[in-house]
Amino acid sequence: MSPPAEAPPDAPRPVHVKAARKVFRPAGRDPVVAVDGVSFSAPRSTLTALVGPDGGGKTTLLRMMAGLVAPDGGSIRILGFDVAADPQPVHERIGYMPQKFGLYEDLTVGQNMALYADLHGVDRDARATVFPRLLKMTDLGPFTGRLAGALSGGMKQKLGLACTLVRSPELLLLDEPTVGVDPLSRRELWAIVRQLVGESGLTVVVSTSYLDEAAFCDHTVALHQGRVLAEGTPAEITARAAGRVFVATSGPATPARQLQAHLFQQPGVVDAVPEAGQVRVVVEQPGLPPRADDALVVACTPTAPRYEDGFMVLFRAAVGDAPAASIDLTRRPDGPAELPVVEVSDLVRRFGDFVAVNHVSFAVRRGEIFGLLGPNGAGKSTTFRMLCGLIPASGGTLRVAGADLRNARAEARQRLGYVAQKFSLYGDLSVHENLDFFASAYGLRGKAKRARIAWAKAQFELEAVARVPSGQLPGGYKQRLAMAAALLHEPGILFLDEATSGADPLARRAFWGRITHLAEQGVTVIVTTHFMEEAEYCDRIIIMDGGSALAMGPPAEIRAQARSGDGHEPTMEDAFIAIVEAARQVAREAAA
């Protein structure tokens, strides 16, 4: 018999977590079980991913492993030390990069690295060898004199990683290092991490809510609500969906998102997402294609599963039924269909010397779903805030429902609904009080107000939590409440800023189901997202990077720009990377 490829079970594993448990007890509220009996271990020189939606317990688990939070139960041994009893030697030997790494934005790249080297007592000789290696690895060499605050999101994360690595740790813990980072930088970051594991023999544990990133890892632990859904190599998790994945094609008259909404509600369907103009479906029974309306589905062919498909099989088994994803308006917005509802031309916004939005133009028709895509810092939110009249434009013109909301009469704002990036309702007030306040804010009163509040509670399943302070609601409820509050006054235009960030995959599907339904009933929807695949739900998208619009059009056209000769249909992420690289190439040629 040949020896096993893995280290023998008794070999010391740098990470050994056994039945770890953590309960948070906020004053005056119900206790929250953040981590509920999680066990896993990581062998030396491997890359392990903690995968799952927000609120799964990934961050708490990492913080316990780093010795920053004491566990309430179980044992955590890191590099042979019991972290709870003896955190100091662990602190000295690991590198931990939190979600928001503490870069000093007013210091340069070089000063930040030197500062972290000072903090960790790295001597001059060690610096002379470590710094050049880190700068080369992160491609930050040309930027050592630049202020950290002036770096792009992806570069900031790379600098954070470099600062974490100045003292050459034995174990590296990374908490969602790629969240909100552009796809290109995400790939670069993963390449760096793989290189650290492969060449330097580092042991790395990383958390991520992007399911596709699990494929880069040796081992994955799928987490949901503090529990382990499953553990295994990416191939093992992917195999859970073997024989269950199909690609359904709709007729030319049916948009993929409509077929997706239909398939998602079918019995026996685990998951359905629009992808490259078709719909990817995961079913419960292997080998059985989804039942669907023949008028909608033209073809349905089996396809190879991916990590996400396997995860969704596990996730649906744990979560159960998909939430309702429809919404029925009592009054449809009126007006001629093909007229532009939103018109933006040559829009510019400067903050001092920094150009956040650089000559962007677009128009949105009534009943359209229009997506602003791009990484954090691309200028999406700034554009959005100008559209809503929250900040003035530095140049160009913009009209929403025929008015510039910046100086329009208050009545013009009556026509739009706005859901902010983070939960922006009153946390101390109950669900009902919030709805009541926003209904009054939009001029509803008496019978009409009561009717609309009842409608909102019914449509968004909020009746059961009406008396709960909204700040204490779980994430999915908050998101529904925010949308309910934005629709009370039956606006014709709905603005949604990063509305799906932080939502679990099912909640995201339900959210898009509602958006699709709203658009079918004539509501114009403008949405920003940094999830590239969500572009498939939109009629048209605009891709932004560094304040400029790089491409605009229907998702299929944008994808076509990145189509290579190999017959493989590119994903929106492939398209984004191809477009950004082409734009940078043009910029380089112009400079040369």
Partner 1 sequence: MVDTLFRIFALIRKELLAVLKDPKSRVTVLVPPILQCLIFGNAASYDLNRVPYVLLDLDHSGASHALVAAIEGSGVFERAATLDDASQIAEPITRRQAALAVVIGHGFERRLMHAETAQVQVITDGRNTNTAGTAQGYLGTITADFAEAWRADHGYPATPGVRIETRAWYNPNLETRWNMIPSLIGSITMMMTMILTAMSVAREREAGTFEQLLVTPYRPTEIMIGKAVPSMLVGLVQASSILLVAQLWFRIPFAGSYGLLYLCLVEFLAASVGIGLFISSIARNLQQAMIGSVVVVMPFMLMSGLTTPIMTMPDALQALTALNPLRYAISMTREIYLEAAGIRQLLPEMLSLLAIAAITLPIAAWMFRNRMA
Q: Please report, as ranges, the residues that interact with partner 1 according to CB under 8 A.
A: 385, 388-391, 410-411, 413-414, 416, 418, 420-429, 433, 436-438, 440-443, 445, 495
Q: Which is nearer to partner 1, 29 or 568 (CB)?
A: 29
Q: Which is nearer to partner 1, 208 or 383 (CB)?
A: 383
Q: Which is nearer to partner 1, 35 or 526 (CB)?
A: 526
β-strand pairing of 354-365 with 340-351: antiparallel
Compute the least distance from the CB of residue 490 to partner 1, in Å: 14
55-59, Cβ contacts within 8 angstroms, sequence gap of 24 or more: 55/225, 55/474, 55/475, 55/502, 55/504, 56/209, 56/223, 56/224, 56/225, 56/226, 57/22, 57/223, 57/225, 57/226, 57/227, 58/175, 58/176, 58/207, 58/209, 58/223, 59/99, 59/175, 59/176, 59/207
Compute the least distance from the CB of residue 433 to partner 1, in Å: 6
Q: Which is nearer to partner 1, 290 or 492 (CB)?
A: 492
Do the Cβ atoms of 169 and 93 come closer than 8 Å? Answer: yes
136-140, Cβ contacts within 8 angstroms, sequence gap of 24 or more: 137/162, 137/192, 137/195, 138/162, 138/192, 139/188, 140/109
Do the Cβ atoms of 184 and 581 come closer than 8 Å? Answer: yes
CA dihedral 402, 403, 405, 409 (to 10 degrees): -120
Q: How far apart are CA 192 and CA 206, in angstroms?
A: 13
Neighbours of 306 (CB within 10 A): 20
Q: How far apart are CA 200 and CA 193, in angstroms?
A: 10
Compute the least distance from the CB of residue 416 to partner 1, in Å: 7
Q: Which is nearer to partner 1, 331 or 445 (CB)?
A: 445
Q: Which is nearer to partner 1, 104 or 437 (CB)?
A: 437
Compute the least distance from the CB of residue 570 to partner 1, in Å: 36
Compute the least distance from the CB of residue 413 to partner 1, in Å: 5
- Dig out the tokens for 214 from the structure: 């699990």
Compute the least distance from the CB of residue 268 to partner 1, in Å: 40
Compute the least distance from the CB of residue 376 to partner 1, in Å: 16
Q: Which is nearer to partner 1, 420 or 549 (CB)?
A: 420
Do the Cβ atoms of 246 and 300 come closer than 8 Å? Answer: yes
Instruction: Give which of 175, 193, 231, 167 is closest to 17, Cα–Cα.
Output: 231
Q: Which is nearer to partner 1, 336 or 352 (CB)?
A: 352
Q: Which is nearer to partner 1, 302 or 395 (CB)?
A: 395
Which positions ≥6 away from 495 have C-beta within 8 Å? 384, 387, 388, 416, 417, 418, 419, 526, 527
Compute the least distance from the CB of residue 330 to partner 1, in Å: 20
Compute the least distance from the CB of residue 391 to partner 1, in Å: 5
Compute the least distance from the CB of residue 368 to partner 1, in Å: 20
Compute the least distance from the CB of residue 422 to partner 1, in Å: 6
Q: Which is nearer to partner 1, 430 or 459 (CB)?
A: 430
- Dig out the tokens for 417 from the structure: 């609904």
User: In Å, how far are 20, 65, 130, 296 from 91, measured between CA atoms?
Assistant: 19, 10, 20, 58
CA 311 to chain centroid, in Å, comes to 16
Q: Which is nearer to partner 1, 203 or 430 (CB)?
A: 430
DSSP one-letter string for 47-91: EEEEE--TTSSHHHHHHHHTTSS--SEEEEEETTEETTT-HHHHH
Q: Which is nearer to partner 1, 264 or 442 (CB)?
A: 442
Q: Which is nearer to partner 1, 45 or 414 (CB)?
A: 414
Compute the least distance from the CB of residue 377 to partner 1, in Å: 16
Compute the least distance from the CB of residue 23 to partner 1, in Å: 24
Q: How far apart are CA 174 and CA 100, in angstroms?
A: 11
Residues 92-127 as b or e (16 or more Cβ within 10 Å = b): ebbbbbbeebebeeeebbbebbbebbeebebeeeeb
